[in-house]
Amino acid sequence: MAKSLRSKREKRLRSIRREITEPFHEKKEVAKYAATQAAMNAPKLPVRPYTKHDKNPMEITTDTTITNSSMDVEMGDAGNKSLKVIGKKMKKKFKIGRGKKQGQGKVRRKHNI
């Protein structure tokens, strides 16, 4: 216990000495200020107007939904590659997740022999 307290105290003193020699927070504030100034002085980007899709809503839903034998997967627009799962977990995955909660070993478990 004393060793851990001593090492913590040494680490604290080391960080204080480092802070005295080169102040970290001042450098951080100066860098943040410089970044905000550069962002404010940068030229403004033009805003693109919103364009609606030419397809009707029924075509969009049929294009974006893919059906598997066990699960349904819904995809976003053509630009998005993320998949969102609709449905239940597979039984195998559920069993794998439950197996992690094991008790203590056989030796420690049997107290009343």
Q: What is the pLDDT of residues 11-23, one digit of tens each?
A: 999 988 887 777 7
Which tens digits make up the pLDDT trace of 74-98?
Answer: 555 555 556 666 566 565 665 565 5
Task: Locate all alpha helices (DSSP H) within the chain, ordered by sequence.
Answer: 2-21, 24-41, 57-64, 91-98, 106-109
**Residue 73 pLDDT grade (very low, low, confident, very high; cuts 50, 70, 90):** low
Please state the φ and ψ torsions of residue 72, each to the nearest 5 degrees.
-100, 140
Which tens digits make up the pLDDT trace of 21-68?
Answer: 777 677 888 899 999 999 999 888 888 777 765 555 555 444 444 444
Please state the φ and ψ torsions of residue 43, each to the nearest 5 degrees.
-65, 145
Which residues, other chains included, contact 72 with Cβ-Cβ below 8 Å and sequence gap of 6+?
A: 65, 66, 85, 86, 87
Residue 49: its pLDDT value, please?
Answer: 78
